[in-house]
Chains A and B, each alone.
Chain A
Amino acid sequence: MIKGNPLKRFFLFYYDGFKSMTVGKRLWTIIIIKLFIMFAILKIFFFQDFLDKKFSNDKEKADYVIEQLTNPKNINND
């Protein structure tokens, strides 16, 4: 068991843990690449929030959705 300053112990706990990983290093690489693709590419370029992008406040969003929901005239639902 590591003894001494709690912060140092906390740091060393993770530091030694990551250092001694074998298969884990490859997994962390995959996690980082995956998170990069998700948040830096998909989220920013392909998955912007539709209502946030179009409207600046909740009132406008509510009005838009009510407008959408109350005019279901020609929905192709057959």
Chain B
Amino acid sequence: MIENIDSALVDWSRAQFALTALYHWLFVPLTLGITFIIAFMESLYVKTGDPEWKKITKFWMTLFGINFAIGVATGIILEFEFGTNWSNYSWFVGDIFGAPLAIEGIMAFFMESTFIAVMFFGWNKVSKKFHLLSTWLVAIGSNLSALWILVANGWMQNPVGMHFNPETARNEMLNFWEVLFSPIAINKFLHTITSSYVLASVFVIGVSAWYLLKGRELLLAKRSIIIAAIFGLLSSLFLIYTGDGSAYQVAQKQPMKLAAMEGLYNGTEGAGLIMIGMLTPGKEINDNKEEYVFKFEIPKLLSFLSYGDANAFVPGVKNIVEGGYEIIDKDGNTQIALSAIEKIEKGKLAISALSEFKKAKEAENIELQEESLITFRENFKYFGYGFLNDPNSIIPNVPITFYSFHLMVGLGFLFIFLFAVVLILIFREKLIEKKWLLRALVFTTPLAFIASLSGWVVAEVGRQPWTIQDLLPTVASVSQIDASAVQITFWLFTVVFTALIIAELKIMFKQIKIGPNEGGH
């Protein structure tokens, strides 16, 4: 029984998952983005026959290889954690993740592994065109691998296309396409890969700027900057579009996350979008403190972006807890939002009905089985609320969500500005003179990783307390294990992953210092 669950166990399990996921994500986006940049460069080599493009391609391929090698398999740790620390969750998810993760595994193995070998070992051994095709397939394959992982994550944010089997306590997939093409999943995928393209572009520009500062590898640096800045700028524009799509989906499916992203405690019609702001420290849902110490907002923009209507009502944290405001359901009908207390009651009804069903099944009482199943089905959408006692426990950490969101967005716009400035200056052949800008570009590189990680913090912290939105909270997802065991592995991972990051940085910096060479990788 989930009795007396140690809150330290939940906290350490969450901390461990967050740690490993964030470390893993330090490697992934660079792979997703730089493979396309390499493919563009190699395409230019094949098209022009200019050996300088080959040299440039091979140089970035080596850096990609370092990142790929150090990062590969770091995500497997997350799967270990699912089985050990999150067994209730893993069981409850059922076969939903089976298909996407199996496809991901096959794709990653066959497409990436096979063609990466051709990419690295195939120079002068396969035709130029086949080598180029392999490079493109590595880029496409790694991005498609990400699709399946993000589809799985999208399902947790918005569980669709499944049926919960009360006999096995597992979700069973009813409609694969609904899971795959869930608007949340698609937006998440597009937003994540485009942000990764921006990150890789910032990385390529940062390294190239360092060469310009040092007065070496000038042609490589200039050409790389042009490719990366164009790719980064175009990706950034698409990133705004996908970000808007993601925020729209969040408004529809996870309004609490949206309220936390904007630090909005009290909902309003014609809500403005906070551009810069500072939350009032220690603000609680029921106190009379102002929401912000200061804010600069664009009037009505949040309402417009969230609901396509500048005067639409955007519920705040308090409204979502208390309910009573109008919402439009999936059939387009106007409904009154339930309060958290009402949802908790319905959740407890669902849990109780599941228990009754189980007992009736054992007693072979068909009538009671059917009766309890009806109650269960009617209330299943609130199942997860039944594990909560305090209505305020549906509120995520607002400051972390708010600041992570604004940091991500702010950095995203900074990158757009930098891409545009760099492009203008490099075409005017003035970039190399602007030493301060080159230095700024070098130091911007880690900011791209911070922006990318912030995006995940928004996505995951903002949806607390849920592991599966509305259906399963973190507290009911954990395994009944000793918190100290999780603590030990938390520190073990900290050591192992930190060592990997140090190895990556050391090898990467050394290789950058060596620069391009004509030899092997």
Residues of A within 8 A of B (CB): 1-2, 13-14, 16-18, 20-24, 26-28, 30-31, 34-35, 37-38, 42-43, 46-52, 58, 61-62, 65-78
CB-based contact A17/B70 at 8 Å = no
Contacts of A35 in B (CB 8 A): 73
Find out whether the CB atom of A23 lies under 8 angstroms from the CB atom of B87.
no
The B interface is mostly helix, strand or loop, or mixed, namely helix
What distance in Å separates the Cβ of A28 from its nearest Cβ neighbour in chain B? 7
Q: Which of B460-491 contact A (CB under 8 A)?
A: 465, 473, 475-476, 479-481, 485, 488-489
The closest CB in chain A to the CB of B517 belongs to A22
Give B residues with C-beta under 8 Å from A: 1-7, 62, 65-66, 69-70, 72-73, 76-77, 80-81, 83-85, 87-88, 90-92, 117, 120-122, 125-127, 167-170, 351-352, 354-355, 358, 386-390, 393, 465, 473, 475-476, 479-481, 485, 488-489, 492, 496, 500, 503, 507, 511, 519-521
Contact B354 A46 (CB under 8 A): no
Residues of the A chain whose Cβ atoms lie less than 8 Å from the Cβ of B88: 65, 68-69
Residue of A nearest to B120 (CB): A17
A71 to B386, CA, bound (A): 10
Q: For the complex, give the distance between the alpha carbons of A42 and B83 in Å.
A: 13
The reply to whether A74 and B354 contact each other, CB–CB distance below 8 Å, is no
Cα distance A31–B503 in the bound complex, in angstroms: 11
Residues of A within 8 A of B80 (CB): 38, 42-43, 47
A22-B521, A75-B476 known; A14 and B117 CB under 8 Å?
yes
Cβ-neighbour of B73 out of A27, A34, A51, A77 (below 8 A)? A34
- The contact sample of 19 A-B pairs, CB cut-off 8 A, is A17-B122, A17-B520, A24-B69, A24-B520, A24-B521, A38-B73, A38-B80, A48-B84, A49-B84, A69-B2, A70-B354, A70-B358, A75-B2, A76-B6, A76-B475, A77-B393, A77-B465, A77-B473, A78-B390
Distance A72 CA – B127 CA, assembled complex (angstroms): 63
Q: Give A76 Cβ to nearest chain B Cβ, in Å.
A: 5
